[in-house]
Amino acid sequence: MSATTTRRSFLVMTGVGLGLAPAAPTLAQDDIDVPTVPPPKFATVLFEGKDLSAWVARNGGTAGWKAMGGYMEVVPGSGDILTKQTFDDFQLHLEFWLPYLPEAKGQARANSGVYLQGRYEIQVLDSYGLQSKENDCGAIYGIAAPLFNACKKPQVWQKYDVAFRAPRFDVSGLLTEKARVTVVQNSVMIHDNLELPSTTGGELDKQIEKPGPILLQDHGNLVRYRNIWIIPVK
């Protein structure tokens, strides 16, 4: 087949020349839940689907979210939850699910967040199909937009895989290297060894020299999480 014929066949297939709009690219994968990733043998399981025993409220009291059916769900107004355990360097895996809120706009659209060491928020939001900004899903809130918009549609399970390197200090306590993070969303790298110049809003504290927990944000929406595990590196 000649190049001309091939091109014509392509145009016919896509409807060009027939008065039809070209077919939209199929994005079937955006409708499909990520397969759940079992914790490797080195991992500390932070949530396996049944109970919130590894978690507390910000005031140290009982975590107020619901655990059911293999996932946990935000109970709006009950507040953020954080792990009892704290971490320095780590690899984190978690899966999340966003409600579909067609009437909501911007930051009201299925907002939550994953705070590394309780200090650096990876935004959780319904940003499907948008040109991602530094407050959209996958952004390090207010610091950096994701390299790609790797979001799936709401009501579909997604995942974050995170490698976090805590800041380094010399013997006198002077900061020598800022924190760094690599984030992979739904198998796409959205931050590549990004330096974190500061903590992000709503952080637990600014004591960056200390280890910190994983904190999940209650922003008033019925966001779900499942299968959360972490591998401490240091």
Closest CB 113 distance from Mg ion, rounded Å: 3
Give the Å distances, CA to CA, from 210 to 117, 181, 203: 9, 17, 13
Closest residue to Mg ion: CB criterion:
113
Closest CB 112 distance from Mg ion, rounded Å: 6
**Closest Cα partner for 228 from 165, 161, 132?**
161
Q: What is the largest CA-CA distance in the chain?
A: 73
Which C-beta is closer to Mg ion: that of 123 or that of 186? 123
Which C-beta is closer to Mg ion: that of 111 or that of 158? 111
Which C-beta is closer to Mg ion: that of 113 or that of 138? 113
Which C-beta is closer to Mg ion: that of 121 or that of 166? 121
Which C-beta is closer to Mg ion: that of 111 or that of 132? 111
Closest CB 142 distance from Mg ion, rounded Å: 10
Give the Å distances, CA to CA, from 176 to 166, 168, 193: 11, 6, 16
Closest CB 115 distance from Mg ion, rounded Å: 9
**Closest Cα partner for 158 from 229, 70, 216, 97?**
97
Q: Which amino acid is at 232?
A: P
b/e per residue, 80-107, with b = 16+ CB within 10 A?
Answer: bbbbeeebeebbbbbbbbbbeeeeeeee
Closest CB 107 distance from Mg ion, rounded Å: 7
Binding site for Mg ion (CB under 5 A): 111, 113, 217
Closest CB 191 distance from Mg ion, rounded Å: 16
CB atoms near residue 152 (< 10 Å) = 23
d(CA 120, CA 200): 5
Give the Å distances, CA to CA, from 140 to 67, 122, 125, 136, 182: 27, 5, 12, 9, 11
Which C-beta is closer to Mg ion: that of 199 or that of 217? 217
